[in-house]
Every structure is written in structure tokens, then in C-alpha cells.
Amino acid sequence: MSPSIFHRAVQRAAAHAPWSAAARRDTLLLAAGVPLSAPVLILLGLPRLWFVLVAFLPCLDLLSVAQRSRLRALRGLLIPSRAPRNAGWWGKVRAGLTWRQFLYHLVVAPLQTLGALLVLAGWGIGLVMATVLGWIWLMPAGAPLQSRPGWAVADGWTTLGGAALLFLTPWLAALLSRFEEWAAGSLLGLNRAELLQRRVEDLAESRAGVVDAADAERRRIERDLHDGAQQRLVSLAMNLGLARRTLKDVPAEAMRVIVEAHEEAQAAIDELRDLVRGLHPVVLEDRGLDAALSGIAARCPVPVRLDIDLSDDIAPTVEAVAYFTVSEALTNAAKHSRASRVELSIRQRDGRLHIQIHDDGIGGADAARGTGLTGLRKRAASVDGTLAVTSPHGGPTTITAELPCEL
Amino acid sequence: MRAVIAEDSVLLRVGLVKVLEAVGHEVVAAVGDAEELLAAVAEHQPQVVVVDVRMPPGFTDEGVRAALVIRRQWPEVAVLLLSQFVEERYASDLLSANTSGVGYLLKQRVANVDDFVEALQRVAEGGTALDPEVVSQLLIRRDTDPLRRLTPRERDVLALMAEGRSNAAIAQTLVVSDSAVAKHINAIFAKLDLPSADVTHRRVLAVLHFLGVA
């Protein structure tokens, strides 16, 4: 035996000594489990009382809650609850009624309780046995226990046995509490499929949060530009226009500069307006999707036929995605398709938004190549929507998108 | 001409006052919200008011609602609405009663002082001034069959007519002769089955009526 192995064995033994913190913690955990499953144990022991178990069924979930709380408080073990977060009472009870819960509460926990009683007995009996010599020695001289022949030897063995029991009990407690942690974790917690489902729910929630936050940020920037820079630019252009109109006796050279500055300012306003619109159009916020869509349709150089039928319970982020999808599709149609007409249809059906943009152009749009279309597809995917493009060479092109109305 | 200005952005309000005064109008009041606007109109009885659509406290369509009140209570006061964006429903609300002395322009149009002053003048004189973007939205919404019978040129002319422009102005914008414009207009009236009229805003009224606004 190498010194290091010996050293480690000593360390492990010390860690499980009767006075160690681990021994105290394990015993506490097991003892706390006794009142939770002792009633079950008694019920199981009674003959012909199985019908009581039926009344006991709805309590299973409460018991699970208590057991989880015990493990969290005494072990820091977080066992996720199986019930969906917003499930009502019945949903919670139903989630509790699985064979794994039954197995835990009706088999594992009672066995565990027996083990716990064994551990407690080990401590008690061990303590009494280990101190038996002391008790006898404390007795007044001539007491009957002391008069037995060879008592010192027999009771010496008893004391040794008690000490051994005291040293063995922590190991049993450690073993049982390990088993407890494992059993509770795998029977009261979630199985793999449930874990994955919970993870998907968490991810969907956090993604919705991120998408919303990005959208809110865009809106804030838009608002700042609109109320700040744009107003200033308009004011500047107005002043330049005024100067251009009222200053009569300035040199031609100076007037040319003023005129140029005025035109520059107006161009800057137009550019800023396009930029702001690309972030998040004000009209979308103030007047909703319908109004915003007629706005882009009106600005499209290709004649657009609108067919919009919307109620108003659409998440703002989804509205933004729909808006940009239509906007980009119309821009593409105007730039590349050589179309003479565009048909735009948006309908709301079964909680989903169906968008179709159809043009009679030359086709050849490819979602795999066109960065604009790829962006649109990603944007649709960010709210769990889909986007499909059919655009054979020679046309026509149809873009269909389907978005959920609520995130 | 006596004018009242309602615009919550101080920068633009000051600018508008300067522009109006520079072209010889008298700004009797410049206010920052709809309530003050109504009070100022009641007090000063101006010929024209320039109103921002979005104003405190709600920053939604306070200006439009104030404009509707003004048109109901003081029909002789001309109203020019300025908006961050075009929204044909505002135009419909505003024009549904009467198209004389009404204007609805994008806010950025004030940057082009000459156009703005010209539109204001037209409105004050009882005419109409609609932003080209408003008109194109109206045309899109009423994309009905008779409109499809129009040639692209005729659609351009119709759009300019709906903005409230005179034949001469249309001719200048499209760089064609006055008689060509007149010919297009007659063709439009024939195709849309509208009675011809020679006062500018009645022409607009006829067009808008066809478009389903008025």
C-alpha cells in the first residue's frame, strides 16, 4: 500500500467519522424524510386499506413538493417540478400522477424511511453500547451489574461493538443519502424528454425576449432620430429655404452656396427618412400594420394591388417582421423583377399571418443567393415563422411568409 | 393673412413662424398643443391654421381631431395639417366633409419653402393641397377597374389633380403643354364618368369622391 493511498483512506475515514459534518448532514436528511413517508409505510402495512391510497392520490404532488423542498433545503439539490409553469391545480396534480412519482412515494421513500430508522437506531444503540462501561463504572459500588463474574470482559466487547457501530453508521447514512439524491433526482425530476422540452420552452422564451429587446431598441433609435436629428434637419432646411427666398442682394456666388446647401439639406432629410423607415417606421407604431403597408405599397414604383384583412391582436415584433418582409419584397420586385404589377395579400387565419407577394416579373430570385431574401428568411425564423420563394426563370415570382401572430 | 400655428417642436414652430412672416402673413398665435390651438382659433379667428398631427399629451392624432373640430365650428378657417407620415385615413377624415380649404402634407415638405408657401396659399384661398404620398396611397386603396383603364400618363395627371394643382401647375410638373393637360383631364373625366368643372377644388372634390374619400 503506497503512502498516498493510505493517506487518502485515512482522509475518507475522517470525512465519515461520527463527529464529521457529513455524518450530521446525511443523518439530518434521512431523518427529515421519516415524517414524509412514514404514513405511507403505515398505510402499506395495514391490511385491506388500499382504498385509502385512492384518497391519497391527489396528495402525491404535495408530497413531491415537500420532498423537493427537503432536498433543496438540506442538500441544495434543485429538482425541477414536472408541472408546466402556468398549469392550474389540476394540471399540477395530473403532472404528479406518473408511475415514477408512484414508484418514489410508494416504494423508494418507504424503503428509505426504513433505512433512516436503521441509521437513527445505529446512532442510538451505538451510543448506548459504546458508553456501557462508563455507565457501570459510574454505578455505586456493589451494584448487581458489577457482581457478575467476568463482566469487565463482556462489557468491554459491548463497548467495542458500540464504537464500531458508531463508526459504521455514518457510512450507511452516506450510502442511503447518495441513493436518496439519485432516486429523487431521477424519479421526482424530469426525464430526458421532459428536460429537453423544458429547455426548449426556456430557449423559446429567452429568444422571444431577445427579439423583443432588439425590436424595442430599434424603435428607440428611430424615435430619437425622428424627434431629434430629423426635426433639426427640417428646421435647418427651412431656414436655408427662407434665406434663399428672402435674401435678394447677395452675390450670385453666395446665393449658389445657399441653394446648394438647401438642396443638400433636403436630400439629407430624404435619406434620413429612408434610414429611419428601415429601422422601424413610425406609422407602424402609430397606426398599425395595415396603414404602414399601404404606405410602402404607395411608394413602390410598380403598381401594387393590396388585399389586407387584419384584426389587431398581432405582436409588435411580428408586425415589424411582416412590414420588413413586404418592404424588402416590394423593393426587390421594383429593382430586379421588371414586373408590371404586384399583388400583395395579407390575411390572418388561425392565429397566423399569411403573407403573399406575387409579381408578374422575370423571376430568377433565389433565396439561397440573394442576401435580402436570406435576411428575410432569418427574420421570419426569429419569430418561428417561415418564408418560401418560388421564382422560376421567366417568372412569375411568389413569396409566401407565414408568421405566428403572438410570440 | 392671419395664421395660427400649432406645433409642439419649438424648433419647427419658430421656423414656421419665420417662414410665414417672411412671406407677409401675420402669425397671431403659435401654440404647442391641441387645446391651446382651439383656444387660439376661437380668440383670433384666423384665415388659416397650420397643425401638426402628433401633439401632446398623447402624441397620436390630436392634431387631426383638433382640425376636425375647427372645420366643424369654424368652416371658414382653412386647415393645413402637417404629419410625420402619410395616413390616408387622416386624409379621409379631414376631407370627408368638405375639400375646400384643406391641406395635408408631410412635415418634411416645409423644408422646401417655396412649395410649402404655395400649398399654404392654395389652402388659404379655399383650395386643396394633398401630399403626393397621400394621393398615391388613395390611388392604391381604390385600385378599382375604371382606374385601370387610365394610361400611366393619365394616372400621373390624376394624382397631381388630386393634390390640388391647377392645369398650369400640372403642365409645368409634367413638362407638357396646357392643352395636353386639358386633353388628359377630359379623357380622365370621361373614363371615370365625372362631370367637368373649372374651379380647382371642385375638380379635386370630384376626383376624391371617385376615390371613395369624400
Chain A and chain B share a number of CB contacts under 8 A equal to 100
Do A146 and A248 share a structural domain? no
* Chain A environment of B60 (Cβ under 8 Å): 286
- The two beta strands, A352-359 and A397-404, are antiparallel
pLDDT at A164: 92
A149 CB-near residues (< 8 Å, 6+ apart): none
Q: Per residue in B137-153, pLDDT tens?
A: 877 766 666 777 788 88
Residue A191 CB coordination number (10 Å): 13
Total domains present in chain A: 3
Radius of gyration of chain A from its Cα atoms, rounded to whole angstroms: 39
Q: Which residue has the higher pLDDT, B23 or A278?
A: B23
Residue range A136-159: mean pLDDT, rounded? 74
What is the number of alpha carbons within 13 Å of residue B29 lying toward its C-beta? Answer: 22
Q: Domain boundary residue among A221, A247, A279?
A: A279
Q: Which residue has the higher pLDDT, A174 or A136?
A: A174
The sign one gets for the Cα dihedral B105, B109, B110, B115 is: negative
- pLDDT confidence tier of residue A81, bands split at 50, 70 and 90: confident
- pLDDT confidence tier of residue B99, bands split at 50, 70 and 90: confident
Do A85 and A141 share a structural domain? yes
Please answer yes or no on whether A298 and B110 come within 8 Å at the CB atom. no
Residue A326 CB coordination number (10 Å): 26
Q: Which residue has the higher pLDDT, B93 or A239?
A: A239
Place of cell 421513500: A109
Query: What is the distance between the alpha carbons of residues B94 and B106, in angstroms, rounded to a whole number?
Result: 15
Query: What is the distance between the alpha carbons of residues B173 and B154, in angstroms, rounded to a whole number?
Result: 14
In a domain? residue A313: yes
Please answer yes or no on whether B85 and A282 come within 8 Å at the CB atom. yes
Beta bridge partners of B104: B81, B130
What is the number of alpha carbons within 13 Å of residue A319 lying toward its C-beta? Answer: 23
* Chain A environment of B133 (Cβ under 8 Å): 295, 298-299
Do A78 and A212 share a structural domain? no
- pLDDT confidence tier of residue B69, bands split at 50, 70 and 90: very high
pLDDT at A1: 52
Beta bridge partners of A402: A354, A386
- pLDDT confidence tier of residue B31, bands split at 50, 70 and 90: very high
Checking if the pLDDT of A363 tops 60, the result is yes
| Cα dist from B48 to A39, A185, B106, whole Å | 87, 77, 17
* Chain A environment of B12 (Cβ under 8 Å): 231, 234-235, 238
Q: Per residue in A88-122, pLDDT tens?
A: 677 666 666 678 888 888 888 888 999 999 999 99
pLDDT at B30: 94
Do A170 and A104 share a structural domain? yes
* Chain A environment of B54 (Cβ under 8 Å): 286
Name the residue range of residue A388's domain: 287-404
The closest CB to that of A294, out of B23, B54, B141, belongs to B141
Q: What is the CATH number of the domain that holds A341?
A: 3.30.565.10
Please answer yes or no on whether B113 and A245 come within 8 Å at the CB atom. yes
Which chain A residue shows the shortest CA-CA distance from B143?
A: A305
Do A323 and A241 share a structural domain? no
CB B105 within 8 A of CB B82: yes
The closest CB to that of B87, out of A239, A291, A306, belongs to A291
pTM value is 0.66
Do A364 and A222 share a structural domain? no
A131 CB-near residues (< 8 Å, 6+ apart): A159, A162
Checking if the pLDDT of B12 tops 60, the result is yes
**What is the phi-psi region of residue B196: left when phi exceeds 0, alpha when psi lies from -120 to 50, beta otherwise?**
beta
Checking if the pLDDT of B214 tops 70, the result is no
Q: Per residue in A114-135, pLDDT tens?
A: 999 999 999 999 999 888 888 8
Shortest Cα distance from B113 to chain A (angstroms)?
5
Q: Which of B23, B136, B147 to substitute to test the interface with A, most A CBs within 10 Å?
A: B136
In a domain? residue A198: no
In a domain? residue A195: no
State chain A's mean pLDDT as an integer. 84
Query: What is the distance between the alpha carbons of residues B173 and B118, in angstroms, rounded to a whole number?
Result: 14
pLDDT at A95: 67
Residue range A385-398: mean pLDDT, rounded? 88
Nearest to B118 by CA among B75, B81, B177, B164: B164
| Cα dist from A142 to A147, A156, A395, whole Å | 7, 19, 117
Q: Domain boundary residue among A251, A279, A307?
A: A279
* Chain A environment of B139 (Cβ under 8 Å): 298
Query: What is the distance between the alpha carbons of residues A102 and A56, in angstroms, rounded to a whole number?
Result: 11
Please answer yes or no on whether B15 and A239 come within 8 Å at the CB atom. yes
Q: Domain boundary residue among A247, A279, A311?
A: A279
Query: What is the distance between the alpha carbons of residues A1 and A185, in angstroms, rounded to a whole number?
Result: 37
Task: Return the domain boundaries, chain B.
Answer: 2-130, 142-211
The closest CB to that of B108, out of A269, A281, A298, belongs to A269
Q: Which CATH architecture has domain B2-130?
A: 3-Layer(aba) Sandwich (3.40)
pLDDT at A3: 65
How close are the terminal C-alpha atoms of chain B, in Å? 28
Do A211 and A173 share a structural domain? no
Q: Write the CATH number of the domain with boundaries B142-211.
A: 1.10.10.10
Q: Per residue in A263-319, pLDDT tens?
A: 999 999 999 988 888 788 888 888 888 888 888 888 888 888 888 888 878 888 899
Q: Which of A234, A308, A326 to substitute to test the interface with B, most B CBs within 10 Å?
A: A234
Which chain A residue shows the shortest CA-CA distance from B148?
A: A303
Q: Per residue in A16-72, pLDDT tens?
A: 888 888 889 999 988 998 888 877 777 777 776 666 666 667 777 788 888 888 988
Please answer yes or no on whether B140 and A283 come within 8 Å at the CB atom. no
| pLDDT > 70 in chain A, percent | 89
In a domain? residue A201: no
Please answer yes or no on whether B19 and A286 come within 8 Å at the CB atom. no
Shortest Cα distance from A224 to chain B (angstroms)?
13
Do A140 and A41 share a structural domain? yes
- pLDDT confidence tier of residue B80, bands split at 50, 70 and 90: very high
pLDDT at A87: 65
